[in-house]
Structure 1
């Protein structure tokens, strides 16, 4: 059959990884498992991080309450004795001298004036002090602003102290109305939370990698029965089921047909389908063989009576006894129809023999000489057509049956003569490629209707009234062309538009050679 660029061009499809719908089943299963494990890991890790954060804040709030009690004791009036001027801006001085015992390093404890909220005493505790204020240093300017603006609600809160970092601060007033602010650094807490988050994330990531690798192996192992089922289906799809005797022996292994499993149910269903298809193919082949045998037997048996009818008709016309013109005309018509039926019977017998696989001759055949002889015969049969030859300088030789190949060219030229009006130009072109010989039969007739072209090589296919017919046709000529060319391991195709019809025959130069499609050859010829 003919090929077209539209059917030969690959269908555009989206990229495989652009949509999960194009992923293999095992990839989708592993991806789904990884997504679920990722969500689970994030949920577990997030829950643990939240719980740890609450626990650490509870601990630091407990320490903050203890530091607050110690700050009240260190900054109370009982410890101050007399009003001592502050050491300087931002504090840096405790009335009792050094910091109280049991307070961790970098603790902030300051006393604010109730009137203008300036720092009177205190600062940030450090490992060592100077100028007689051991262990206490004044707050930086950016920290002073944050400390003096804290709300006096006795509720701990996180406050950014600028260069000191983030602190947990609490502010309240003592019995004398003095504002005391106490704070502990949150750097260790944040470091701990970050480390735990990194460790948890790393553990989840490693777990996901291991789970993905193990899941891929498990899924691959689990889906092996499905791959075996698919392999069986692929082998069946590669069989030629359209003609001839088909031995459909492919089946899914019994181990993969357990109906209690999903894959087993598919395998069992495929085996049942193959059984039904095998039975149908056997019935089809038996019926086909019966029809072929009937056609062959009928054609063979009809040859003798047809020859007798033709002989008697011719003998009656040649009799010396006078006969009327009407009887002579009747005898002529009987002889003519007997000849036509003889041709039909011979064609049917030839098709039956080709269908039965009768071997053809394998001799060197010069296609150029066949073309010359076929065109010469066609010119004698249709002198009102313009017959042309386009032959190479060197002979083109193939291996095959010369008589059958001559019949191929004769049928193609007879088809052009029969279905085109007088004055049509018909050209026969012969070319040789690397591994094949190509014959084109081109006519300038009205063309073949598009709806008829897919069926042009079927038996008893007839054209409609748009193709003029000066003589009758059995509808078997092109089917014989297709059968003979196929028997020679070649192919034949047609492309037709109004004003040009091209039949292309491709034959291997050396059997069994690889035969290219006729489409590229036709495109090259048209170009």
Structure 2
């Protein structure tokens, strides 16, 4: 069974990494300090408990070494005693100045007596056989050791001694007080550390956010520049990182200064490109304007000569016809170049409501007359649709799209022109069932002089400017044009702002 790939985790921001690093280091330091403090406190309390245990052992040795007659009279009937007058565990537990919770075991050579003082009631209680066995294993050790007696008693610190009379005895004090104090300290350190971590996280987030504000301003500048249409038209690249954020003495300042230098170079390059484009546009406009007069003269003289009525050789008549047709073709090319140059200069169009329904009816009627070998269909809404635009220019858009469909498809191709209102846009589509646009040409189809070698772009006299004019005119109307093509279906889609009111 294939393993399902999990969704990639989103990368952490620099602010989050810095805050978590600070909080993590503080947590590590707090844990270290807490562990060391608890260990030192426990060791100190354990040493103090060992001192108390040694004192209790000395007092117990004094009690056992004193004969114990009086103790036997007094303790003979209490739990843990053996024979009258014999030193027992009760002798130790009932001795003077013994600490609470004391545990005692006495071995007189023939019997073992044990007991411990209950912390709450102060009564002397006996130990179980298992607990006695655990203590008996340590009667030969003179150093203090820790024994876990289990049950309610838990861990005890015990020490074995020999009295002056030769009696072996063992005394112990509970470790519950030491463990409780150490646990209380650990709990206090935990709560204080957690509170400190929360406070530090809040302060660190504020400080880091404050420290990263210059970087955010640098990012904002780069984002604004990235959103500019640097690839077209004249662009004013005046946005720069503020001087305060471009100080080379800081890390962020060096980034800001580097970005400013890069923007200066880009600005110079854009200015040089714009100057070059302006010169080219001016040349094309001037050349197109100047070529109109001689082209009109060539066409007029050739037409006049052909219609003069004089007898001319057939080859001369053919040559005059070719001169006239090529002058007409070149005049159209010059007019297209002049229109593109004017659109590039951003000349204002005459914007007014245009009835797209009637415009499409007229355009399809003209296309039907020019291409009777094609099938032309209209799909119009019942209610007329108006758009805001320049009617001659919009008529030229539709004419060019229909001419493109006629010139680059075979005879018998069906071309459907449709109009619809989608939201606040008027949508015009021109769809044909021709061979389609080559995939490698789709991305450059609306560029100037875009040509191809497929059946849609065979030698038909096309200048390669028709769709470029369509794109330029639609863009000047704040619209959009696109194409979708597969073999057997090609659709050009034009969107224009609807007329409101």
Same fold (TM > 0.5): yes
Give CA-to-partner distance per residue, 1:302-336, whole Å, 9 cap, x none: 00111111111112222322211111111111111
Give CA-to-partner distance per residue, 1:83-115, whole Å, 9 cap, x none: 999868755955758722222011001113656
For residue 378 of structure 1, what is the aligned residue in structure 2?
367
| Match 1:119 to one of 92, 96, 112 | 112
The alignment status of 1:467 with 2:452, answered yes or no, reads no
The alignment status of 1:107 with 2:102, answered yes or no, reads yes
Q: Is the 8 A contact 1:494 1:503 kept in 2?
A: yes
Q: Is the 8 A contact 2:64 2:167 kept in 1?
A: no
**Paired residue secondary structure (2:440):** coil
Report how far residue 74 of structure 1 moved: 2.7
For residue 157 of structure 1, what is the aligned residue in structure 2?
145
* In 2, Cα distance between equivalents of 1:79 and 1:369: 132
The alignment status of 1:14 with 2:8, answered yes or no, reads yes
| Match 1:31 to one of 8, 13, 20 | 20
For residue 138 of structure 1, what is the aligned residue in structure 2?
126
Report how far residue 143 of structure 1 moved: 3.6
The alignment status of 1:477 with 2:466, answered yes or no, reads yes
* In 1, Cα distance between equivalents of 2:81 and 2:24: 56
Report how far residue 157 of structure 1 moved: 2.5
Give CA-to-partner distance per residue, 1:60-79, whole Å, 9 cap, x none: 11211222222233334833
Q: Is the 8 A contact 2:409 2:455 kept in 1?
A: no
* In 1, Cα distance between equivalents of 2:120 and 2:328: 131
| Match 1:330 to one of 319, 334, 351 | 319
Report how far residue 146 of structure 1 moved: 3.3
Give CA-to-partner distance per residue, 1:447-471, whole Å, 9 cap, x none: 1111110110000001222435362
Give CA-to-partner distance per residue, 1:408-451, whole Å, 9 cap, x none: 11100111111111111100000112311000100001111111
For residue 525 of structure 1, what is the aligned residue in structure 2?
none
The alignment status of 1:444 with 2:444, answered yes or no, reads no
Q: Is the 8 A contact 2:80 2:90 kept in 1?
A: no
Q: Is the 8 A contact 1:384 1:422 kept in 2?
A: yes
Give CA-to-partner distance per residue, 1:383-432, whole Å, 9 cap, x none: 11111111111111112111111111110011111111111110000011
Change (3 A) 1:88 1:104: closer
Q: Is the 8 A contact 2:386 2:499 kept in 1?
A: no
Change (3 A) 1:90 1:96: closer
* In 1, Cα distance between equivalents of 2:112 and 2:76: 8
Change (3 A) 1:343 1:145: same
* In 2, Cα distance between equivalents of 1:101 and 1:167: 21
Matches within 5 A, 1:127-526: 136-140=124-128, 143-150=131-138, 152-161=140-149, 162-172=151-161, 178-467=167-456, 469=458, 471-510=460-499
The 10-residue stretch of structure 1 (168-177 or 39-48) with the greater mean CA deviation from structure 2: 168-177
* In 1, Cα distance between equivalents of 2:105 and 2:92: 14
Q: Is the 8 A contact 1:113 1:119 kept in 2?
A: yes
Q: Is the 8 A contact 1:363 1:401 kept in 2?
A: yes
* In 2, Cα distance between equivalents of 1:375 and 1:82: 131
Change (3 A) 1:326 1:98: closer
* In 2, Cα distance between equivalents of 1:97 and 1:128: 19
- RMSD over aligned CA atoms reads 2.7
The 10-residue stretch of structure 1 (30-39 or 150-159) with the greater mean CA deviation from structure 2: 150-159
Q: Is the 8 A contact 2:354 2:387 kept in 1?
A: yes
**Paired residue secondary structure (1:335):** helix
For residue 3 of structure 2, what is the aligned residue in structure 1?
none
Q: For structure 1, which runs of at least 5 residues remain unmatched after alignment?
A: 1-11, 17-21, 514-527
Give CA-to-partner distance per residue, 1:98-156, whole Å, 9 cap, x none: 722222011001113656xx633x41135899xxxx96432355643433444632333
Report how far residue 15 of structure 1 moved: 4.5
**TM-score under structure 1 length normalisation:** 0.86
Give CA-to-partner distance per residue, 1:320-370, whole Å, 9 cap, x none: 222111111111111111111111000000000111111111222111111
The ranges of structure 1 where at least 4 consecutive aligned residues each deviate by more than 4 angstroms after the TM superposition are: 80-98, 126-129, 172-178
For residue 64 of structure 1, what is the aligned residue in structure 2?
53
Report how far residue 81 of structure 1 moved: 9.6
* In 2, Cα distance between equivalents of 1:82 and 1:309: 148
For residue 45 of structure 1, what is the aligned residue in structure 2?
34
Q: Is the 8 A contact 1:73 1:79 kept in 2?
A: no
Q: Is the 8 A contact 2:63 2:92 kept in 1?
A: no
Change (3 A) 1:313 1:91: farther
Structure with the larger RCO, 1 or 2 (CA within 8 Å, 6+ apart): 1
Q: Is the 8 A contact 1:68 1:182 kept in 2?
A: yes
* In 2, Cα distance between equivalents of 1:127 and 1:414: 109
* In 2, Cα distance between equivalents of 1:304 and 1:128: 123
* In 2, Cα distance between equivalents of 1:95 and 1:426: 118
**Paired residue secondary structure (2:443):** helix
